[in-house]
Amino acid sequence: MIIQPAERTRSVKEYYFSKKNREIAALNADGRSEPVINLGIGSPDGRPPQIAIDTLRESAMKDGNHAYQPYIGIPELRKAYAGWYSRWYGVNLDPSSEIQPLTGSKEGILIISLTFLNKGDKVLVPDPGYPTYSSSARLCEAEIVTYDLVEELGWQPDFDALEKMDLEGVKMMWTNYPNMPTGAPADPALYEKLVDFGRAHGILVCNDNPYSFILSDEHYSILAVPGAKDCCLELNSLSKAHNMAGWRLGMVASSAEVVYEILKVKSQLDSGIFRPLQLAAVEALSQGPEWFAVLNGEYRRRQLAAGRIFDLLGVRYNPASQGLFLWGRVPDGVDPVALSDKLLYEAGVFITPGFIFGRNGEKYLRISLCAKEEVLSRAYEKIKAVL
């Protein structure tokens, strides 16, 4: 290479699932009798609402829909997001100033980090937690301060321990409920504590909330806590709840001041979201309880099938967890990484080892529910044959 990459790139590695997917592709190309069953990443395999697909197709045929779009999103989409939050979360948002559409919420994590972090600022990141929280902070040359989530506390923050930490220089805190990877649910009391903590210490609490409709009958937002917009923002997405992961449609909501600062950065990075995608999102956001009843009926069947795999492996798990994954602790004396590799190379089934989510995930495995029930059952049979 004629030049050296920026120093900041030394702080991050290729995303784990990017590497693992290449490894799986190589195994499949090796002439296996049956492709590897990949129970790793949480990429929904269902269809989006039919009305969203129809709207995308019809609006893509219309002249005038293929130009650059407003950086702040079209008014129809911002109003639809505001209506979604009001209807499901009981949160009132001003669609003109308190919502910023995103090209997926993963993009939002980096944009938020670029917006608010200077070199040397500190960021509270959960362990275990989504790896992108840490990699985005590193790309901003910020300092990561992990806080523990443990099974004994229901995978919720230990606020007594947080208060005893050196919080000097901490500017942001990432939270994520229903939690990925553990499936721990949110509740209003947790969000009230997080708002109080952020306000008391001048920390921007960034709540990542894409799983609140999956295997959950109650839907919570941190922004429902009075005064939350003063110290919190929330990311959300159509990827999980509407089977639209590849469409890359997300949003961030907070006070008008916070949202405007995010817009200043985002407007440097793209030229708006394809208008037909935005119009399709409006229709997807209008889905009622019947959509989520069907969606979660399917995921509950898959959760049971994934539980049978864990039962076979002697892995302990919470059958009432929420979100797109089943998370479980391996028996004492078992190495989750070695077990994951054994299942991949001998059974042709990939299950994610929990170490990639942090030190507190080292004794755990994670199964994605983004595979049909019959695929999970086939994985069970292949693993049983190897064991």
For 27-41, the pLDDT digits (tens) are 888 878 899 999 998
Helix axes 256-266, 105-116, angle to 10 degrees: 100
Angle 303-307-308 from CA coordinates, rounded to 5°: 125
Topology given in CATH for the domain delimited by 66-284 = Aspartate Aminotransferase; domain 2 (3.40.640)
Given a cut of 90, whether residue 8 has pLDDT beyond it is no
Mean pLDDT, residues 255-274 taken together: 96
**Mind listing the pLDDT tens digit for each residue in 139-161?**
999 999 999 999 999 999 999 99
Contact 240, 210 (CB under 8 A): yes
Sheet with 170-176, side-by-side order of all strands? 99-102, 250-253, 232-237, 204-208, 170-176, 122-127, 143-148
Q: What is the spatial distance between Cα 288 and Cα 81, in angstroms, rounded to a whole number?
A: 14
Question: Which of these, 20, 28, 37, lies nearest to 309 by C-alpha position?
Answer: 37
Mean pLDDT, residues 278-288 taken together: 98
Q: What is the spatial distance between Cα 138 and Cα 303, in angstroms, rounded to a whole number?
A: 35
Given a cut of 80, whether residue 12 has pLDDT beyond it is no
- Stretch(es) of the chain classified as CATH 3.40.640.10: 66-284
How high does pLDDT run on average in the chain?
96
Mean pLDDT, residues 170-183 taken together: 97
Poorest-pLDDT segment among 10-19, 55-64, 267-276: 10-19
SS3 label, residue 264: helix
Q: What is the spatial distance between Cα 105 and Cα 248, in angstroms, rounded to a whole number?
A: 8
CATH entry 3.30.70.1290 includes domain 7-47+289-386: no
Q: Is 26 exposed, middle or buried (0-12, 13-18, 19+ CB in 10 A)?
A: exposed
- Stretch(es) of the chain classified as CATH 3.90.1150.10: 7-47+289-386
Which region holds residue 165: left if phi is over 0, alpha if psi is between -120 and 50, else beta? Answer: beta
Structure tokens at 83: 């209506």
Question: Which of these, 384, 315, 385, lies nearest to 354 by C-alpha position?
Answer: 315
Upper half-sphere CA count for residue 43 (Cβ side, 13 Å):
9
Please report the pLDDT score of residue 90 as a whole number: 98
Given a cut of 90, whether residue 15 has pLDDT beyond it is no
Please report the pLDDT score of residue 41 as a whole number: 84
pTM of the entire predicted model: 0.94
Please report the pLDDT score of residue 185 as a whole number: 96
